[in-house]
A and B are shown apart, each in its own frame.
Chain A
Amino acid sequence: MSETVLELSSVTKRYDDFTAVDDLSVSIPRGSIYGLLGPNGAGKTTTIRMILGIIQPTSGTISVFGEPSALNVRERIGYLPEEKGLYKKMKASAIIAYFASLKGMDRKSAKKRAYELLERYGLKDFADKKTEALSKGMGQKVQVLASIAHDPELVILDEPFSGLDPVNQEVMEEVIRDMAARERTVLFSTHVMQHAERICDRIMLVARGKKAFDGTIAEAKDTLPRRVRIETEDSIEPLRNVPGVVSVLRVDPESPGSHWDIELGESVRAQDILRFCFEHDISLRQFDQSDPTLHDVFVSIVGEDAREASFR
């Protein structure tokens, strides 16, 4: 976690009067798995395309392996675009070999590597099939393999999980972990929080082109207030007076129910609340002090923006 592989500083991309990416700065250390999260239209794909040098930022600088353009170091980078497509008439192995050779591998070893990868990830039988004969998921796997065939030091995956069934989503996670285990850096975008939560070291949340959060998963969760949820038929009024309790709110304010969220301040721990309930004879049907999920973080940070964005 020392060397910086990728650095963006104040990167902005404007299309006419629309700002797709606004003053984005981030630095990604070697060997990390970095999640780029955000709602639809947040600027994830634009950011990735700028990192790869496919499009140029309006302002700001990008440094990949210390180079100003990813094209200078393209053989050290692997890329899986958001929209997946392959040459329909080409064989799976030929496509992988072709992309690997474009990344600087010589054609012979590229070919050999293509067969190795297809075998390792269970597509051996399809190696010599034209890709139009593959299912969508298989085609996507082929494309993932094509993006990592030259064993890049930095892999950038745009929505790698979309379109995959649960089993293959796990395979995909495995591929990413494998890469990281060999000191490769993985940057991927997704809007499915579960994947990010499971495999990311660090995440960046973007909303409407701006960085909303950047840090570890734990840090992300810390942005949300700690809370416990209880279910009781008794009065919760005494709890409001416990020092450190910020608020006690009905989970569903619309209808009177027995579920309550208690937001905790810095000075109070969950077991303090539990003890208080025992001592004051508040009978509990449920006591839940689970951490917020990344999903909660996502919704709390970008929820409003996402909703707005979808109606824009």
Chain B
Amino acid sequence: MRNIYLVAAREYAENAKTKGFWIGVFLFPIIIIASIFIQGALERATPTRNFVFLDRSGDFEQHLEDGLQRLHDRDVMKAFGKYVREHSSMGGEAGFSADMLESIPAPDTRELLESIGDGGASLMPAGGIDAALMQIEPFLDDEAPEFEEPRRRFRRVELPGDVPADADLADVARGLKPYLRGKDKFDFEGDSIDLFAAILIPADISEKVQRPGLGAVMSAISGGPPQGIQYWSANLADEELRNEVRNLVNGEVRRREYVTEGMDVDKVQRIEKTRVPFASLNPKKEEGEEAVSLADVIRQWAPVGFVYLLWVAIFTISQMLLNNTIEEKSNRIIEVLLSSVTPNELMLGKLFGIAAVGLTMIGAWIGSGIGVLATRSGPEAEFATQLFAVLRHSGLLPAFVVYFILGYLMYAGIFLAIGGVCNTLKEAQNMMGPVMLILIVPLFTMMFIPKDPNGTLATVMSWIPLYTPFVMMNRAAADPPMFEIVGTFVLLLVSTLLVLWLTGKIFRVGILRTGQAPKLLELVRWVRS
């Protein structure tokens, strides 16, 4: 026992000292933090897009300008909401509380934020952002910075000087091409600017309107020169402006159709916004509390996170185990060790020591992940709270620990046996190929299984001991039948013990062997001896 502990303690101490371990510990939280910040940074980094807009029909100009203004207002209000949340007593660790909201006079930022979805005209509070700022003033923190209006995402610019505005649309497009390709810049309001897009609307646009029926299909599949609105841009990835323009123009076209058909436009728009409340209910919950909450969703998907953690942890630490077994083998430290401890003590010491390393790493990940979420304000904080609650009250954490230990021991056993028979890392990598292929499967099935947690695929895979830890963890939230939980657990336990027993045998013979890796037949003989 003492020797197992000593070996384990050394493995732990040495592995915990490696760079790989610390990179592993920190990388995960850093990725989480980075992914939160990068999103914001990317938004800020996108430059204002300049576009030219040439409407020969003259029907849509005003409409488009209004639409883009609304888009900008929406951005401003979003930023304002964030500003309020971060710099005033109205926003706190956990966002708005109900009585706080009641005590605050209009404008209620939450209501403002909610009205965004309407796409209606009343986006800006009366008096614009300045009025809102004045009202929020008394609640601001002392050191709150000035509110900065976000940059416009799109800016309409005049045609460059060398492109005649009254020319044929095809000529205009031809003239704009060097600018659109990014080869040339041109001056606008004193700046030398890039042209992001050009939107050209022909004069006969109203004749190009397509209505349901055969004609639409015919013209859609016939090639020929572009008809209708032309959206020119070299950037195919950023579709925001294109979608915005298309929606605006289509919306306006439809409005006109209503008018032509003699319908009340206001009425139609009102009708389009009607809806029936739709509630997701969970039959497993107590009566009166069936509504599906955030916690339920988390509970459903948290196992996926755990499966991933399990996978990464098993993968990483099995590698460690393999590497240092081969180190000991290749420089023959193993002999000194074996004159002091039995092969079984050595094997168990390694297994436990490295398992402890893995648990430390996972613990750090879970801890820092939750920690990072908890220190964020707003929706992330709420998510973290819910996550805590789910972890506390569901059986996920104990299940994770059990499956981690058994799954790890099984794979570690396999890797250790490989380490035992190979002398170099290269040799080991050859033998690891098949194991890797087996190990990769749960990664693929991880996302499917929650959708059909008690389906055939999930059930069958649960009974394959190599996959039991992953798949059963995957299914944990769906309450699989007790028979399967117990049955697969027993099977997993038995096969893990079997693997460890076999590994012990192979390890004992293999670790002192030098030269070529043994043939399969030889391995069988080792096990028998």
Is this pair of chains taken from one and the same complex?
Answer: yes
Using a CB–CB cutoff of 8 Å, the interface residues on chain A facing chain B are 49, 52-55, 70-71, 74, 77, 79-90, 98-99, 101-103, 143, 146-147
Q: What's the nearest-Cβ distance from chain A to residue B346, in Å?
A: 10
For B328, B338, B341, the residue with the greatest tally of chain A CB atoms inside 10 Å of its CB is B338
* Interface residue? B335 (CB, 8 A): yes
Provide the residues of chain A in CB contact with B330, threshold 8 Å.
85
Contact with A along B480-512 (1 / 0, CB 8 A): 000000000000000000000000000000001
- Of the listed residues A54, A99, A103, the one surrounded by the most CB atoms of chain B closer than 10 A to its CB is A54
Number of chain B residues close to chain A: CB under 8 A: 22
**How far, in whole Å, are A17 and B10 apart by their CA atoms in the complex?**
40
Of the A-B pairs whose beta carbons lie under 8 Å apart in the complex, a sample of 14, sorted by A's number, is A49-B512, A79-B336, A81-B332, A83-B332, A84-B331, A84-B332, A85-B331, A85-B333, A87-B327, A87-B328, A87-B333, A88-B331, A99-B336, A99-B340
Interface: B523 (CB within 8 A): no
Shortest Cβ gap from B339 to chain A (Å):
4
**Is B339 touching A101 in the complex (CB atoms < 8 A)?**
no
Instruction: Name B's A-contacting residues (CB within 8 A).
Output: 3, 6-7, 10, 14, 17-18, 327-328, 330-333, 335-342, 512
A98 close to B6 (CB less than 8 A): yes
Asked if A85 meets B14 with Cβ closer than 8 Å, knowing A79-B339, A102-B6, the reply is no
Chain A residue with Cβ nearest B338: A54
Bound-complex Cα distance A101 to B336 (A): 13
Chain B residues within an 8 Å CB radius of A103: 340
Contact partner, A102, options B14, B331, B341, Cβ 8 Å: B341
Q: Which residues of A contact B18 (CB under 8 A)?
A: 89
Q: How many angstroms between the C-alpha atoms of A88 and B341 in the bound complex?
A: 21
A89 touches B14 (CB 8 A): yes
* Overall SS of chain B's interface: helix
Closest A residue to B3 using CB positions? A102
- Kindly list chain B residues whose C-beta atoms are within 8 Å of the C-beta of A52: 338-339
Q: Which of A74, A83, A101, A146 contacts B331 (CB 8 A)?
A: A83
Per the bound structure, the CA–CA distance linking A99 and B334 in Å amounts to: 11
For the complex of A and B, 7 pairs with smallest distance between CB atoms: A85-B331, A81-B335, A102-B340, A83-B332, A79-B339, A52-B339, A54-B338
Provide the bound-state CA to CA distance between A80 and B340, in Å. Answer: 12
In the assembled complex, the CB of B358 is this many whole angstroms from the nearest CB of chain A, namely 19
Which of chain B's residues has its CB closest to A54's CB? Answer: B338
A87 to B342 Cα, complex, angstroms: 19
Interface-centre pick from B328, B335, B336 (highest chain A CB count, 10 A): B336
B17, B335, B341, B342: residue with the most chain A Cβ atoms closer than 10 Å: B335
Bound complex: CA of A99 vs CA of B332, how far in Å? 14
Given pairs A79-B335, A102-B337, 4 additional interface contacts (CB within 8 A): A77-B339, A84-B331, A87-B14, A87-B328
What residues of B have a CB within 8 angstroms of the CB of A54 in the complex?
A: 335, 338-339, 512
Residues of B within 8 A of A147 (CB): 336
Query: What is the CA–CA distance of A54 and B511 in the complex, to the nearest angstrom?
Result: 10
Kindly report which residue of chain B lies nearest to residue A74, judged by CB atoms. Answer: B340
Residue with the highest number of chain A CB atoms closer than 10 Å, among B18, B328, B337: B337
**Minimum distance in angstroms from A261 CB to a CB of chain B:** 43
Q: Which B residues are in CB contact (< 8 Å) with A89?
A: 14, 17-18
Q: Name which of A53, A87, A143 has the most chain B CB atoms within 10 A of its CB.
A: A87
Q: Which residues of chain B are near A77, meaning CB under 8 Å?
A: 339
Chain A: which residue is nearest B511 at the CB level?
A54
Least Cβ–Cβ distance between A79 and chain B, in angstroms: 4
Contact pick for A101, options B6, B328, B512, CB 8 Å:
B6
Nearest neighbor of A139 in chain B, beta-carbon distance: B331
